[in-house]
Amino acid sequence: MSDLLILCAFLSSALFLLSRQQYAALAGWACIVLNLWSEVPACLRENNFLYPALALMSLPFLAITAERLHHKDPVVLQLSRTAAIATVIWVPFVVVPFLRDALISVVVTLALMLITALGHHPQRVAWDAIFENSFSTQIIPGCTGIMAIALMLGVIFGMKNLPLRQAFFASLLVVPAIFLANLLRVAVVFIAVSDTWFAGFPDPTGTGDANFFWAHNVIAEGLAVLFLLFLVWALVRIIPPLGVFIRALVRVYRDRLRELVSPARDTL
């Protein structure tokens, strides 16, 4: 189901970029939201609460986006262009075996080198798996940073009439920074779990081992969100019109959400 939704999102995004039709953009958004919801059961089993929270927030977001696309809101159309570019970049690395496996293999190789450089002795027990101290982890596309890279490139190239110089320096900032930060994240999370850094922490998982929960689901993902926000701030310094777009985007969704909430509040 997920692969089909991802492929549909790719086709809808490509169609939107080619045709500029808001209905293609809406189809792409719908596929993204449905795919996010399809991942919720697996995330809950892994005690990952970030994506289920995003899934809940995606429902009012999709409703407002659909309404604004119907009225051809230029700000939401630009946001949809950003999402479409990100999707077109990201999907091939998820569904094309050669690209997916090559990226995973590079991340595993470099992560092994980094973990070893940090004084540990991991073993590569499979082409995509690392093992040490009775802990084994498999590297999947979500561990490669490609989604964050695609998202930030979408933010950059979603800007209209972007000067080539700004596009070059912004991409030069985003791609290496995210790739290296993600590599460090993979290495540190692996070391934290294999060395049981958080053995004394509360165990909300009920499994008797909360190390992965605290290392990955809480600390690593929280820092990843902060890092992406920092990159957006840095991009605004390079591309000043991006700041204007972000403020306009916040106003659109804030004001529309207030309009939707006010009638419900008045009936209470």
Pairing of strands 135-138, 129-132: antiparallel
In 92-144, alpha helices (H): 92-95, 97-117
Q: What is the pLDDT of residue 176?
A: 95
70's enclosing H/E stretch is: helix 50-70
Angle 242-245-247 (CA atoms, 0-180°, nearest 5)?
Answer: 110
Are 142 and 104 within 8 A, CB to CB?
Answer: no
Task: Give the Cα separation of 54 and 224 in Å (integer).
Answer: 15
In 71-204, alpha helices (H): 74-90, 92-95, 97-117, 146-157, 164-194
> What count of other Cβ atoms lies within 10 Å of the Cβ of residue 145?
22
| Stated length of the chain | 268
Q: Consecutive sets of 10 residues in the chain, 268 residues long: mean pLDDT of each?
A: 82 92 92 88 77 87 91 93 95 92 94 92 89 86 92 92 89 94 93 86 73 86 92 93 93 84 58
How confident is the model over 204-229, as pLDDT tens digits?
766 667 888 888 888 898 999 999 99
pTM more than 0.85:
yes
Q: Which one, of 153, 140, 144, lies nearest residue 84 by Cα?
A: 153
**Residue-wise burial string across 112-143, b where 16 or more C-beta atoms lie within 10 A, e elsewhere:** bebbeeeebebeeeeebebebeebbbebebeb
Q: What is the pLDDT of residue 240?
A: 92
In this structure, what token pair is assigned to residue 186?
A: 């993979």
Task: Give the Cα separation of 264 and 123 in Å (integer).
Answer: 57
> What count of other Cβ atoms lies within 10 Å of the Cβ of residue 56?
13
Q: What is the pLDDT of residue 267?
A: 54
Are 114 and 188 within 8 A, CB to CB?
Answer: no
